[in-house]
Each structure stands twice: as structure tokens, then as C-alpha cells.
Amino acid sequence: MNTLEAIYSRRSIRAFNGVQLTEEECKVILKAAYASPIGRAMYDTLSLTVITDRALIDRWEKQMQEEAGNPDLHPFYGAPTVILVSSVIGEGLMTNVNYSNAAIVVQNMAIAATEIGVGACHIWGAVRGLHGDDAVSKELKIPAGMVPCCAIALGHFDGEYAVREVQEDRIQTYFIR
């Protein structure tokens, strides 16, 4: 795939088949994260937590189910790997920059996953359920001073990516000429 093919083919994968990423696939996806543009190149404001311990992912899921009062909630869709992106958040303009950095890291990983045929889904919902003092947050050992911002669920899936028709009117767009 070239870059545009990967961008046009990417879609959220919400059904994983239980097959774990290989070490090589994980490395490619992490390298894409490290290649992300980061505001003022402040890479040390960010941290990645690569979770391949399915039992921990299950505990996180259970915590979400209890919080939402919904035992049918499966926010990770059975993904065998979740990569959590945490960041220092700061104040004022830096809040925007820091959250944006985290989102860009996830998006870079999603494009790389698409390129190599690994299923991926952006995960924000389950991250909102981490409050710092809860059991799962403690297990995740987020570095001091950082806040979990967002995550990506990764794993193999039945099926494949294919270039999708992109609806060109779905984001309102104004041109000022």
C-alpha cells in the first residue's frame, strides 16, 4: 500500500480473532508512533504503555462494565493488545497541544497497522474510565505527572482492508479565496 491507500483503507476494526501481533508487527506500529509529529518536539511529555496481558485488559473491561452498569460492554472488542498513550497535560494552550499529540500518535499507529494488515480501533471511551485512584489505573503504572489520554486496540481480524469510497461532503469545508 502507498500512504494514500492506507489512509483510504483504514477503518475501525471491532472484531478481533484472538491472534496476537507478532513482535515484528508490534515494532512496526511502535516505530510509527515514534515517527509522529509532536508539539515543540517534546517527546518526553508522552508515554506509551503496551498491554499484552489479556487478563489486565479483561479487568479494565470489567471495571468499565461496572462503572457503566452494563455487563455487555466490551470496549476493547477482544483485542489482544492495547497501547495506551499518556501525556503530561499542562495548562492553557499546552492542554490542547498535549491532547493533540496523543491523538496523533494513535493515528500514526492506526495507519501503520492498516499498512501491515493488523486490525486497529481508536479507543477513547475506556480511557475515560481511568481515574488515577482506581484498581486498573494502579496496575497500569502511568508515569507520575501524566494522564492517560487515549488508546488503540490492536489484533488480527478475519477479513482484510480495502480502499473505501470516501464521502467527500462529510466534513463541512469552507474555502476562503
Ligand X SMILES: Cc1cc2nc3c(=O)[nH]c(=O)nc-3n(C[C@H](O)[C@H](O)[C@H](O)COP(=O)(O)O)c2cc1C
Describe the crossing of helices 23-34 and 93-115 by its angle, rounded to 10 degrees: 140
Least distance between ligand X and beta carbon 144 (Å)? 25
Please state, as a whole number, how many other Cβ atoms lie within 10 Å of the Cβ of residue 54: 16
Least distance between ligand X and beta carbon 151 (Å)? 8
Chain position whose Cβ is nearest to ligand X:
125
Cell numbers 497535560 correspond to what residue?
Answer: 89
> How many angstroms separate the CA atoms of 49 and 78, rounded?
18
Q: How far lies 97's CA from each of 24, 115, 143, 150, in Å? A: 31, 27, 19, 14
Is the Cβ of residue 12 or residue 70 nearer to ligand X in the bound state? 12
For ligand X, the binding residues (CB under 6 A) are: 11-12, 14, 103, 121-125
Sign of CA dihedral 8, 165, 80, 55: positive
At residue 53, the 3 state secondary structure works out as coil
Is the Cβ of residue 39 or residue 125 nearer to ligand X in the bound state? 125
Least distance between ligand X and beta carbon 30 (Å)? 20
Is the Cβ of residue 43 or residue 124 nearer to ligand X in the bound state? 124
> How many angstroms separate the CA atoms of 168 and 5, rounded?
16
Least distance between ligand X and beta carbon 50 (Å)? 18
Is the Cβ of residue 166 or residue 176 nearer to ligand X in the bound state? 166
Least distance between ligand X and beta carbon 110 (Å)? 8
Is the Cβ of residue 30 or residue 103 nearer to ligand X in the bound state? 103
